[in-house]
Amino acid sequence: MSESRPIAHVRFDANNQPIEHWLDDHLRDVAKLAAEYAELFGADWAHVAGIWHDLGKYNPKFQEYISDRSGYTAALNAHIEVENVPGKVNHSAAGGLYVATLDKDPKKRLSKVLGYLIVGHHAGLPDWVKADATGYSLEEILAQQEHLESIRPLFSSIPSDILNANLPATPPKGGGDNFALWIRMLFSSLVDADFLDTERFIQEDRFTLRGQYPELGELLSRFNQHMATFAAKAEDTPVNRLRAKILWDCREAAGKASGIFSLTVPTGGGKTLSGMAFALEHAIRHGKQRIIYAIPYTSIIEQTANIYRAIFGECVVEHHSNLDPDKENYQSRLAAENWDAPIVVTTNVQLFESLFASRTSRCRKLHNLANSVIVLDEAQLLPPKFLNPILGVMKALVEHYGVSFVLSTATQPALHTYHNAFGEAVVKGFEAGQITEIMPDPAALFNALERVNVELPPDLVAERSWENLATEIAELDSVLVVVNTKKQAAELCRLLPADTYYLSTNLCGEHRSEKLKEIRQRLQNGEAVRVVSTQLIEAGVDVDFPVVYRALAGLDSIAQAAGRCNREGKQVGKGRVVVFVPPLNAKLSGHLGRSVEVCRSLLQAITYPPLHHAHYKTYFEHFYARAKSLDEHGVVDLLARNASELKIQFRTAAQRFRLIEEEGFAVLVTYSEGARLIAQLKAIGPKRDLMRRLQRYTVTLRERDKNRLVQAGDIRELANLSGVYEQITPGLYDGKFGLLVDLSQLAPEELVW
C-alpha cells in the first residue's frame, strides 16, 4: 500500500493481497454519478455533495483504521457509519463542517442542505435538533469543530479540484413546503452513487450486471405481442369485449400531458393489463424512465408481479418491505433495491415510507422515482391518518420531478381538496380539474359491467352467529366468504366442511399462490369449492364465484368483494352478493370500525343500488371527515414548519410515518422450498436475489405474537439478519391455516402437521 495516497476502501485479490480504492478517485466518481442521478433536480448540488462526502477519510486516524496492521480488517464496513463502535472514526462530519466555512449565506442554508447530505450519508438523514436521547442532530454535529480540525492540516495535500469544487447555484426544487423532499432526493442520489461506486470496486462483477435492461420501447413490443396472443385466445363474451374497449381507451389516453390520472374501471375490467398499457405508452411518449406499480397488500403482490414477469421477464423487480434489515451494514445495502429496473412492483408501504424515510437503504431508490409513471393500484386504500402527507408528496413529485400518477380502482377515493362546515380543509388534495380520468365514460362502463345483485340484511345492526352463517353457507356448492379479521376467518372456517379453503396473511406467499391455483382450477372445472378469506382476496385476486358473502365493512370493500362474483359474466342471471353483520362487528375499532359506521349510515340513507358508482365520492368524503386527523402524527409540520430555515426533523418524521402502525416482524417459514432457502441465508447472508426468493416464504407477525413464539422456542432471530426470524418447531406451519400464531383458535383435530 502507498503511504502517501489516502485510501477509501480495500478489497483482496485471489492471493489475499490488499487492493486499494484511492480516496480521490472515489470522491470524483461518486460526484459524477450523483450528478447524473440528480440531473432533473440539482446536479450541481449532488456533485459537490459527492466530492466532499468523504473528506473525513483524509483524517490520519481513519487511514490508520482502514489500513489496520492486522490485515485490513475494516475492508467492507469502513464504508458504513456505525455509532459507538470502538476504534471507528467518524468520517462523515468533516465534509459538512468544511461547507460551513465556505457558506456566506446569513441563514447558512448552503451548509444546512449539504450538511444533511454529507453528515447523514451513512447513518441516515438527521434531525436538525435532537428529539430524544438517541442518535444525533445536524445542529450539534456542525458545532463539533474537531472533525474539521483533524483534516485542516492536510488541505495543502488534498487535490485542488476536490477541495475547491464549485459551490452549487441551482435554486431548490419546489419552494419551502417541498424543501424536505428536495433534500431527500439529493440524498438519494448521493447515497446510491456512494454505494454503487463502492460496489464497483469491491464487487465489480455484480456492478457490471446493473442496469442491463432493454428500453421501454422493446417492453411495449413484448406487451403488444402478449396482448395479441391473449386476445386471440379469449372467448367472445360481453365482458371480454368491454375489456378490449378499456384497453383501447387506455392506449388512446396515453398521449395526454404528464400529471395525475384516475383509471376508474369496475372490478374485473382488466385494470392490471390496461393500466400497464397506459403506463408504457405514456412513459414512451413523454420520455419517462420506468414504471412503478404500487399495491396496498404484501399478501397479493406476487400475483401482479407474476403477471408482469410472464410478459417482461427479468425486467420486473418485485420489492416488498418485510425483509428490509433493521440495521445498516454492507450486506444489507447490497440486498436493498435501488429500483433501477424498468418495471418495479412494490407495496404502498415500501413506496411511501421510503418517500418519508431517513435510513440510507430506504432512501437510495428515491432518485429513480423522478421521471417515472407510478400506478397506485386500489388507490382507495391509502391510509387516512397519513393522507395529507401522502397527497403533498404526490403533488410535489408531479409538479417538480416529472412523475405521472395513475389512481387505479373501481372505487375512486375523494382526493380533491374540500372543507368542512367551518371552512377548514379536510383533505389537502388535488384541485378541481387536476385529476384526468382515463376512461371516456365511467358511468356507462359501470352500467355495462353490472353483474351482481347485492342483498342487504333487513337490519344493518343485528349480528348473526357464526353457527347460523355456517349452516347457510354449507348448503352452497361454491361460495366465497370475506370477513374482516383473521380470527373471524378461522372461527368460521372451523364450522364449515373440512375441505373449505382458508386464506389469510398467516399463509406465506408461495402457499397462498398454490391455494389460489387450486381454487381457480376447481372453479374452472365446475367443482364445488368453499373459501373463507380475509380482505386480502379483494385486491387484485382474479377468482370468479357464483355467490359471495361479505361481512359488513366499508362500501369500497363490499364492492371489491362483489368483483369476485360472476366476474366473467357467464352466469345465467346475475351473481349473488350477500352482506351480513358478523358477531362482535360493533367491537371493530380504528379504520375498520369507522368504515363500518360510515357504510351503515350511507346504506340506510340511499334508495338506488348500493354499489352505484356515484356513492363512492360521498362515502369517502364522510369517511375522511370522521378520521381523527389526516396527518395524525404531525409529519407535515415536522418537515415544513421551519423549512425556510431548513430546520427539518427528518429522523423523527421517518419514525412517525409508519403506514402500518405495528410494522411487524418477518418470520421465514419452512413451507416447501423455505427450509432450503433459510439454510442458504444463514450460510451466505442477505444476498439480493436470495432475499427476493425468500419473500415468498415469509409471514409477518405482530410484536406480541413474535415474543410469545420466541419465548416458546418456536422461532428465533437470525444471527446475520437483525429483526428477521426463522421457524424452528416443524409443526408450527400448518397445511391449512399457515403459521399457527394462536393455537387456541383451532380444534385439536385441525392441527394438521
How far is residue 392's CA from residue 115's CA, in Å, rounded to a whole number?
A: 25
Backbone φ, ψ for residue 80 (5° rounding): -115, 130
Topology alike, domains 216-446 and 451-608: yes
95-107 pLDDT, tens digit each = 999 999 998 888 8
pLDDT classification of 76: cutoffs 50, 70, 90 = very low
| pLDDT of 403 higher than 80 | yes
| pLDDT of 78 higher than 60 | no
| pLDDT of 54 higher than 90 | yes
Mean pLDDT of 232-236: 90
- What's the pLDDT score for residue 70? 36
| pLDDT of 224 higher than 60 | yes
Give the orientation angle of helix 271-285 with respect to helix 238-253, to 10 degrees.
20
The top-level CATH class assigned to 216-446 is: alpha beta
| pLDDT of 216 higher than 70 | yes
- What's the pLDDT score for residue 1? 37
pLDDT classification of 133: cutoffs 50, 70, 90 = low
Mean pLDDT of 494-498: 94
Q: How far is CA 637 from the centre of its chain?
A: 23
259-286 pLDDT, tens digit each = 999 999 988 889 999 999 999 999 999 9
How far is residue 276's CA from residue 290's CA, in Å, rounded to a whole number?
A: 11
- What's the pLDDT score for residue 63? 86
pLDDT classification of 322: cutoffs 50, 70, 90 = low
Which residue has better confidence, 230 or 80?
Answer: 230
The top-level CATH class assigned to 7-209 is: mainly alpha
Query: Is the separation of the CB atoms in 331 and 202 below 8 Å?
Result: no
**Residue among 66, 10, 44 at smallest CA distance from 171:** 44
pLDDT classification of 604: cutoffs 50, 70, 90 = very high
| pLDDT of 30 higher than 60 | yes
List the chain domain ranges. 7-209, 216-446, 451-608, 665-750
pLDDT classification of 68: cutoffs 50, 70, 90 = low
pLDDT classification of 426: cutoffs 50, 70, 90 = confident
**Residue among 425, 392, 417, 394 at smallest CA distance from 407:** 394
| pLDDT of 324 higher than 80 | no
Grid cell digits, residue 164: 475547491
- What's the pLDDT score for residue 45? 98
Pick the CATH number of 451-608 from 3.40.50.300, 3.40.50.1820, 3.30.450.20, 3.10.110.10: 3.40.50.300
| pLDDT of 749 higher than 50 | no
Q: What is the CA radius of gyration of the chain?
A: 27
Which residue has better confidence, 502 or 237?
Answer: 502
| Element containing residue 426 per DSSP (H, E) | strand 425-427
pLDDT classification of 355: cutoffs 50, 70, 90 = very high
Q: Which residue has the cell 469544487?
A: 165
- What's the pLDDT score for residue 106? 83
- What's the pLDDT score for residue 663? 60
Q: What percent of the chain has pLDDT over 90?
A: 62
CA angle 138/129/722 to nearest 5° reads: 75
Backbone φ, ψ for residue 548 (5° rounding): -130, 130
| pLDDT of 363 higher than 80 | yes
Which residue has better confidence, 607 or 559?
Answer: 559
pLDDT classification of 84: cutoffs 50, 70, 90 = very low
Mean pLDDT of 656-683: 88
How far is residue 691's CA from residue 303's CA, in Å, rounded to a whole number?
A: 18
- What's the pLDDT score for residue 420? 76
| pLDDT of 747 higher than 50 | no
How far is residue 725's CA from residue 294's CA, in Å, rounded to a whole number?
A: 26
| Element containing residue 200 per DSSP (H, E) | helix 179-202
Mean pLDDT of 619-626: 92
Q: What is the dihedral of CA 602, 604, 606, 610, to 10 degrees?
A: 70
Mean pLDDT of 699-708: 90
| Choice among 60-69, 113-122, 488-497 with the minimum mean pLDDT | 60-69
Grid cell digits, residue 578: 350477500
- What's the pLDDT score for residue 15? 87
- What's the pLDDT score for residue 720? 75
**Residue among 654, 653, 661, 660 at smallest CA distance from 637:** 653
Task: Find the DSSP H helices in 359-505.
Answer: 360-363, 387-400, 442-448, 466-474, 486-495
Q: Which string of DSSP letters, residue by residue, matches 262-309?
A: EEE--TTS-HHHHHHHHHHHHHHHTT--EEEEEES-GGGHHHHHHHHH
Tally the residues of the chain. 753
Q: How far is CA 250 from the centre of its chain?
A: 25
Query: Is the separation of the CB atoms in 385 and 633 below 8 Å?
Result: yes
pTM of the predicted model as reported, rounded to 2 decimal places: 0.88
Which residue has better confidence, 108 or 744?
Answer: 108
CA angle 328/334/339 to nearest 5° reads: 110
Which residue has better confidence, 726 or 3?
Answer: 726
The amino acid sitting at 219 is: L
Query: Is the separation of the CB atoms in 694 and 292 below 8 Å?
Result: no
638-668 pLDDT, tens digit each = 998 888 889 999 999 999 998 876 567 899 9
Q: Strand pairing of 425-427 and 418-419?
A: antiparallel
Q: What percent of the chain has pLDDT over 70?
A: 92
| Choice among 69-78, 438-447, 453-462, 629-638 with the minimum mean pLDDT | 69-78
